[in-house]
Amino acid sequence: MKSLLKQFILYFLAIVIGGCSSTQTNVAVIKIKGSDTMLSLTEYLAEAYMRKNPGVSIYVDGGGSSSGIKSLINREVDICMASRPLQPEEIQMIASKYSSLGVSYIIAKDGLSIYINPKNSKRDFSIEEIKKIFTGKIKNWKTLGGKDEAIVPIIRTPNSGTYLYFKEHLLEGEDYISNAITETTTAKVIEQVAKNINAIGYGGLASESLEYHASINGVPSTEENIRNDKYPINRYLHFYLLTNPNGVLKDFVDWVLSPSGQKIIKDSGYIPLFEIQS
């Protein structure tokens, strides 16, 4: 519901900014769908771009990276936002259908944070501990020096790019523990962690205040540590298109990659591609 409301607001904003003059009948439309990790970020970018370009209306929707890629392949959207690289089968589908490998733009960098309830005494984890928790090899906080309480893992749905990235890079391809609680968005993962001292989850760095973020191998998930690759769990955020963009679509992508767009990325809590002066 919130996502639909935001889409309406973005559409309404485009109309208001563009004015109600009958002389303005040609409104360029850009449709974007995909990663929930990137949803709020792309909405901020869309709002800022539409303010500067009143003849453009940008629709932004979430649903997960896999959902966005599927919509892109079906030509239902112009841009897929994804928090992971394309899978081989997805590339094959694009190639077989369009005789092209598509076009990828890295627009930002993000740290994958481990969310912990602020009252949990365990505030630092090794990569191996994270793997054992989410594969079920460690099931009690006592094993990690905490209280004798069962660990409650919170994970994302399989259509999430974050889910796949975590499984590939943190679990090294092993299956998640079968009784993990599954949530559809990062915000809901954080809600579960916030109300349960024994819960642990994961998601993007920009999703919440740092009070929920644990350190990994003694390194906190700060912007500087992620930019310099000191924080061990980081990733790039992508825009995918079927072909090289032109017209308004190219102008929007170019603007996102410009200092103006990258400043909005920084102000939104994500890591820009290059140093931005505040």
User: Which residue did the predictor score with more confidence, 276 or 6?
Assistant: 276
Task: Specify the higher pLDDT residue, 101 or 16.
Answer: 101
pLDDT at 209: 59
**Using one digit for the tens of pLDDT, what is the confidence trace for 38-62?**
999 999 999 999 999 999 999 999 9
Q: Could you give all domains of the chain from N- to C-terminal order, each with its CATH number?
A: 2-109+236-267 (3.40.190.10), 111-227 (3.40.190.10)
d(CA 239, CA 67): 14
What pLDDT does residue 211 have? 76
pLDDT confidence of residue 227 = 83
Average pLDDT over residues 23-35: 82
* Cα gap 224→216, rounded to integer Å: 15
Q: Which of the pair, 179 or 209, is modelled with greater confidence? A: 179
- The mean pLDDT of 17-45, rounded to a whole number, is 77
pLDDT of 22: 33
Q: What pLDDT, on a 0 to 100 scale, did the predictor assign at position 6? A: 52
Residue whose C-alpha is closest to residue 62's, from 84, 41, 85, 87:
41
